[in-house]
Amino acid sequence: MHVTRIIAVRHGETAWNHAARIQGHTDIPLNAHGQWQATQVGLALSEEPIAACYASDLSRASATAEAVAQHHHLPVTRHTGLRERCFGEFEGQTWNELETRFPQETQAWRKRVPDFAPPGGESLLQLQTRVVAAVTELAARHPGEQVLMVAHGGVLDILYRAATRLELQAPRSWELTNTAINRLLWSPEGLSLVGWADTNHLQAKPPEETLDESTT
């Protein structure tokens, strides 16, 4: 049976990434540096055979996917299953603010308690179920082909764990860099890892005006 090759990319940087604020389902657009990152990953993948482009429906992911899709004259299909984890009342907060307002809940989050959900948000178990189902649904449409999936840090974390058979509570030891290129294989038996955190396309120096993001 043919496998499906997946290029999984985290969206470009946003102002809330830069300020270390929790985004979740809050729809924050790319900042100037994130737009440059999206352009770079689009160029890096311009010669790849890509049969379809999928993205979270949040604008930071879909805009990043558009930067790749335009080189292939493909539409971007948005899928809510690729959204970031919903963090409920945590969204918009920094770590310091969370530790002040929700000290016990923040500890549970730090410890990666699988069934813990922020007030009004999703647990890791719920996120895992949603993401694996969405990726399975999309990948199964393209046996023998390669597809792009642009999503979020939490989604990429779930995919890495699924591909390497790591439990949800295991400490993270891998990078989730904005617009890094990550490669996986999908078959009906599940996911496997091919390559992770390729950032060679980000080694070029960005335009001078994107270096100072203090006002974004």
CA gap 94, 22 in Å, rounded: 6
- From the list 84, 91, 105, 122, the catalytic residue is 84
Which of 11, 72, 79, 152 is catalytic? The answer is: 11
- Is residue 213 annotated as a catalytic residue, yes or no? no
2 is catalytic: no
User: For the chain, how far is it from start to end, CA to CA, in angstroms?
Assistant: 48
Provide the annotated active-site residues: 11, 84
